């Protein structure tokens, strides 16, 4: 029970890595606020957690919409009374090589993946500051640390997340708030569905384990950064990529 009585907000918690993290955090004693714009999947996930005896609720919001996020944050705090941990996990891709990348797809990925992290952090930070303790975990990517072909927009957003993480670590560390990022490699979720099987096979050979990452691999990294065990870890980027050859 590493998160006993902690309230955790997980954006993009309806599916993929976020959904697996919600279950893991729940098993570790936390109350879970699932934030997602997919209402059906979010409600189903909250129901699934209830059936396992975990206190959870779904809050619909588009993280790119600041007004939406502010309203959602008020409802979360009304329901749970506090927020201890924020996992800024929601993200999308709209991949294309630079010359074919539509400006709307560039902007949408920045809006969701980068501005979304800004919006949610700004909305929940005051509650954490009032408590004098909090943990913020931002989901970056190896595309943010090293770039990736066909992902100009996504790499820019994920690199920007690292910049915000390090800035906030400095701004709020002395106020008891740890801010860290996780940079996953290729993880088996819907997000990588569009990558051809042949490429995935090549990607696997780039790790010593010859496999893709699982959502559990990333959720376990979130758990460490969310727990008191990481109290002296601040402003770091934890790579969960199986030691991919760069």
Ligand X SMILES: NC(=O)c1ccc[n+]([C@@H]2O[C@H](COP(=O)([O-])OP(=O)(O)OC[C@H]3O[C@@H](n4cnc5c(N)ncnc54)[C@H](O)[C@@H]3O)[C@@H](O)[C@H]2O)c1
Contact footprint for ligand X (CB under 6 A) = 11-12, 14-18, 36-38, 41, 62-64, 89-92, 112, 116, 139, 141, 184, 186-187, 189-192
* Closest distance of CB 175 from ligand X, Å: 26
Query: Is 154 designated active site?
Result: yes
> In terms of CB distance, is 5 or 102 closer to ligand X?
102
Pairing of strands 237-240, 177-184: parallel
The phi, psi pair for 137, rounded to 5°, reads -125, 120
How many whole angstroms separate alpha carbon 123 and alpha carbon 215?
26
> In terms of CB distance, is 128 or 218 closer to ligand X?
218
> In terms of CB distance, is 116 or 134 closer to ligand X?
116
Angle, helix 66-80 to helix 116-131, in steps of 10 degrees: 30
* Closest distance of CB 64 from ligand X, Å: 5
* Closest distance of CB 52 from ligand X, Å: 19
**Residues designated catalytic:** 154
């Amino acid at each position: 029970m590493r998160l006993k009585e902690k309230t955790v907000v997980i954006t993009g918690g309806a599916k993929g890595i976020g959904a697996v993290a919600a279950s893991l955090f729940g098993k570790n004693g936390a109350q879970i606020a699932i934030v997602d714009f997919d209402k059906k999947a979010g409600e189903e996930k909250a129901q699934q957690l209830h059936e396992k005896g975990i206190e959870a609720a779904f809050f619909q919001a588009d993280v790119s919409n600041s007004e939406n996020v502010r309203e959602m944050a008020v409802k979360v705090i009304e329901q749970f009374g506090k927020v201890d941990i924020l996992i800024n996990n929601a993200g999308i891709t709209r991949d294309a090589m630079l010359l074919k990348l539509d400006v709307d797809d560039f902007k949408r990925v920045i809006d969701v993946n980068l501005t979304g992290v800004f919006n949610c952090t700004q909305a929940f930070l005051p509650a954490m500051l009032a408590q004098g303790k909090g943990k913020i975990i931002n989901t970056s990517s190896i595309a943010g640390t090293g770039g990736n072909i066909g992902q100009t927009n996504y790499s820019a957003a994920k690199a920007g997340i690292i910049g915000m993480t390090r800035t906030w670590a400095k701004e709020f560390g002395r106020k008891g708030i740890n801010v860290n990022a996780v940079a996953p490699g290729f993880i088996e979720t819907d997000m990588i569905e569009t990558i051809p099987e042949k490429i995935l096979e090549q990607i696997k050979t780039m790790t010593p384990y010859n496999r893709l990452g699982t959502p559990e691999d990333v959720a376990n990294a979130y758990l460490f950064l969310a727990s008191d065990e990481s109290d002296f870890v601040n402003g770091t980027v934890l790579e969960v990529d199986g030691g991919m050859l760069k």
